[in-house]
Structure 1
Amino acid sequence: MNFASDNIVGGSAPVLQAILDANAGTMAAYGNDEISKRVRARFNAIFEHEVSVFFVTTGTAANALALSSAVPPYGLCVCHREAHIIDDECGAPEFFMHGAKLAGLAGVGAKLKADDVAAYLESLPKAVKQMPPKALSISQVSECGLVYGLDELADLGAVCRAHGLSFHMDGARFVNALVSLGCTPAEMTWKQGVDILSFGATKNGGLMAEAIVVFRKDLAEALDYRSKRAGQIISKGRLIAAQFEGYFAKDHWLDNARHANRIAALLSQGLLRIPGVRLAWPTEANEVFPIIPKSLDQVLKAAGLLYHNWTELSLPETERVADHEVLIRLVTSWATREEDVRKLLEVASSEAAQQAAE
């Protein structure tokens, strides 16, 4: 039973079939094939906007290259202090921004509030010795499993416009947030002021399928060249694009995310019925963050469950993890079975019953 992440499973059947279909015959190289053209047109339709789309193989490449288009080497990108771009990408954004800096701000649940971002921007000296802020980057879903609502996105977009910042969204779990909100892709992005999006499919059924979706043409101007220099112009580009064709067909991407979110909700509800277990943050997408007794943590691991312990840095002020407790992260995917959730809950319930009897 593996709840370590949603990138531990392979590709879904429609995605794999699309790759097989695209594999036959010969097609133009480097993304000039008909499949890539069709998929770019599909992105336009999905987002109800003319967009520039750049296919890449990893989320790190998507984030680093997206930010490199928005932030000059002397600039500053504001993000949460636990954002993936600052904690988990080995300096790739700074490297591709050629020395630009990431500034991490605090926020409960790894989310940023518009007022806090505005206050930080207004506190910065305007002298040349201070790197000027050029972009804001948020994670949707956040690193603590929370989803920015449309009003929150609109408020952040307004701050970006008022201060001349580009607005980047790290959408590694974009569709999980989308189905959680029940809105359209347009409503969750450019209609709220988002300028550039790292659109992830790898965690939701793709093999290695990521895209940079650009809503502002000026930010797209150099991305072909930046992508080439980063080794992300793939010679057999049709096999990357084909994954998106299978992904989008018959709303497969939405169905996958709905399943992952539903399974996470079942897991969350089941855990809350176990004595001594509570949630650090609400379950809003496909990640669950329970605070559990250390004894239960040991029992779960002994039973073969795989998951990660998590940081307490973004807990609400009213919450703390006691010495006898541990905060963990459980992630569900498009392939997680209800049976796996039942097994986890059975182990946890048995341990709770045993503790109560002692």
Structure 2
Amino acid sequence: MNFASDNIVGASAPVLEALARANGGAMAAYGGDEITKRVKARFSEIFERDVSVFFVTTGTAANALALASAVPPWGLCVCHRESHIIDDECGAPEFFMHGAKLAGLPGVAAKLDAQAVAAYLQGLPKAVKQMPPKALSISQATECGTLYRLDEIAALGRVCREHGLSFHMDGARFTNALVSLGCTPAEMTWKQGVDILSFGATKNGCLMAEAIVVFDSALAEGLDYRCKRAGQIVSKGRLIAAQFEGYFAGDHWYANARHANGLAQRLAAGLAALPGIRLAWPTEANEVFPILPKAVDQALRAAGVLYHPWTDLSLPATERVGADETLVRFVVSFATEEAQVDKVLDIAKSALGRQAAE
């Protein structure tokens, strides 16, 4: 039972079938094929406006190249201090921004507050010694599995406009957030002021397919060259585009996310109902962050359940992890089965029963 990540499962059947169909015959290379053209047009339909789309193979590439288009080497990108771009990408954003810096701000549940961001920006020195802020990046869903509501995104978008910043969204779990909020892709992005999006699909059913979706046309200039220099323009580009074709067909991407989110809710509710277990943050997408008694953690690990420990940096001020507790993360994927979730709950319940009897 592996709840370590939604990256641990393979691609979904519709994606693989679309990939197999695209594999036959000869087609133009480097994105000149008809599949790539169709899928790029589909992105514009999905976002209800013309968008520029650049396909890449990893989320790190999407984030790093998107931010490089928005932040010059002397600039600053503001993000949460636990964001993926600052914690988990081995300096790739700074590398591709050619020395620009990331400034990580605190925030409960890994979310940035618009007033706090505005106060930080207003407090920055204006002298040439200080790198000027050029972009704001948020994760949707966040590293704590929480979501920015539409009004919260809009408030951050206004801060960006007022201070001349580009607004980037890291959407590694974009569809999980989308179905949870019950809104459209347009409503969660450009209609709230987002300028550029890292559109994730690998975690939700694709083999390796991510996209940089650009709403501000000025940020699209030069991205082809940035992608080429980063080794992200794939010669058989149709095999990336085809994954998106299978992903979007019949709203498969929504179905996958609904499945993962639903089982995450089942796991969260089941754990929270057990004595001595509580959730660090609300379960709003496909990640669950329980604070477990160490006896439960040990029982789960002894049974072969895989998941990761997690940091308490973004806990509310009123919450603490006790000496006999541990904060962990479970990630539910589109391929997770209900029986696997129920098995985790059974193990936890049994461990608590044994503990009570001692």
TM-score (norm: length of structure 2): 1.00
The superposition leaves residues 66-97 of structure 1 with CA deviations (integer Å, 9 ceiling, x where unpaired) of 00000000000000000000000000000000
1:316 corresponds to:
316
Post-superposition shift, 1:353?
A: 1.0
What are the ranges of 5 or more consecutive residues in structure 1 without an aligned counterpart?
A: none
CA distance in 1, matches of 2:73, 2:314: 29
Post-superposition shift, 1:354?
A: 1.2
CA distance in 2, matches of 1:268, 1:184: 26
Q: Name the SS for the 2:169 alignment partner.
A: strand
Post-superposition shift, 1:46?
A: 0.1
1:104 corresponds to:
104
The superposition leaves residues 41-67 of structure 1 with CA deviations (integer Å, 9 ceiling, x where unpaired) of 000000001100000000000000000
2:266 corresponds to:
266
CA distance in 2, matches of 1:209, 1:259: 20
Post-superposition shift, 1:273?
A: 1.4
Opposite residue 345 of structure 2, the aligned amino acid is: L
Q: Which runs of structure 2 are paired with 1:60-209 in the superposition (5 Å)?
A: 60-209=60-209
Opposite residue 231 of structure 1, the aligned amino acid is: G
CA distance in 2, matches of 1:110, 1:349: 29
CA distance in 1, matches of 2:255, 2:7: 17
Post-superposition shift, 1:153?
A: 0.3
The superposition leaves residues 304-342 of structure 1 with CA deviations (integer Å, 9 ceiling, x where unpaired) of 000000000000000000000000000001000000001
CA distance in 2, matches of 1:273, 1:130: 50
Post-superposition shift, 1:275?
A: 1.0
Q: Name the SS for the 1:329 alignment partner.
A: strand
The superposition leaves residues 226-252 of structure 1 with CA deviations (integer Å, 9 ceiling, x where unpaired) of 000000000000000000000000000
CA distance in 2, matches of 1:211, 1:275: 43
CA distance in 2, matches of 1:328, 1:56: 31
The superposition leaves residues 189-216 of structure 1 with CA deviations (integer Å, 9 ceiling, x where unpaired) of 0000000000000000000010000001
CA distance in 1, matches of 2:335, 2:65: 30
Opposite residue 22 of structure 2, the aligned amino acid is: A
CA distance in 2, matches of 1:222, 1:119: 32
**Seq. identity, %:** 77
CA distance in 2, matches of 1:341, 1:109: 24
Q: Name the SS for the 2:102 alignment partner.
A: strand
The superposition leaves residues 280-299 of structure 1 with CA deviations (integer Å, 9 ceiling, x where unpaired) of 00000000000001111111
Runs of 4+ in 1 over 4 A off after TM superposition: none
The superposition leaves residues 126-174 of structure 1 with CA deviations (integer Å, 9 ceiling, x where unpaired) of 0000000000000000000001000000000000000000000000000
Opposite residue 204 of structure 2, the aligned amino acid is: N
8 Å Cα contact 2:295/2:355 also seen in 1: no
CA distance in 1, matches of 2:81, 2:49: 31
8 Å Cα contact 2:147/2:284 also seen in 1: yes
CA distance in 1, matches of 2:9, 2:99: 35
1:329 corresponds to:
329
Post-superposition shift, 1:274?
A: 1.1
**Does structure 1 residue 282 correspond to structure 2 residue 282?**
yes
CA distance in 2, matches of 1:143, 1:39: 29
CA distance in 2, matches of 1:187, 1:24: 37
Opposite residue 156 of structure 2, the aligned amino acid is: L
Post-superposition shift, 1:356?
A: 1.4
8 Å Cα contact 2:53/2:211 also seen in 1: yes
Q: Name the SS for the 2:207 alignment partner.
A: coil
**Does structure 1 residue 49 correspond to structure 2 residue 70?**
no
Opposite residue 322 of structure 1, the aligned amino acid is: G
Post-superposition shift, 1:357?
A: 1.6
Post-superposition shift, 1:355?
A: 1.2
What are the ranges of 5 or more consecutive residues in structure 2 without an aligned counterpart?
A: none
CA distance in 2, matches of 1:352, 1:217: 56
The superposition leaves residues 244-277 of structure 1 with CA deviations (integer Å, 9 ceiling, x where unpaired) of 0000000000000000000000000100111110
CA distance in 1, matches of 2:273, 2:162: 46
1:39 corresponds to:
39
8 Å Cα contact 2:295/2:352 also seen in 1: no
Q: Name the SS for the 2:157 alignment partner.
A: helix
The number of residues matched between the two structures is 358
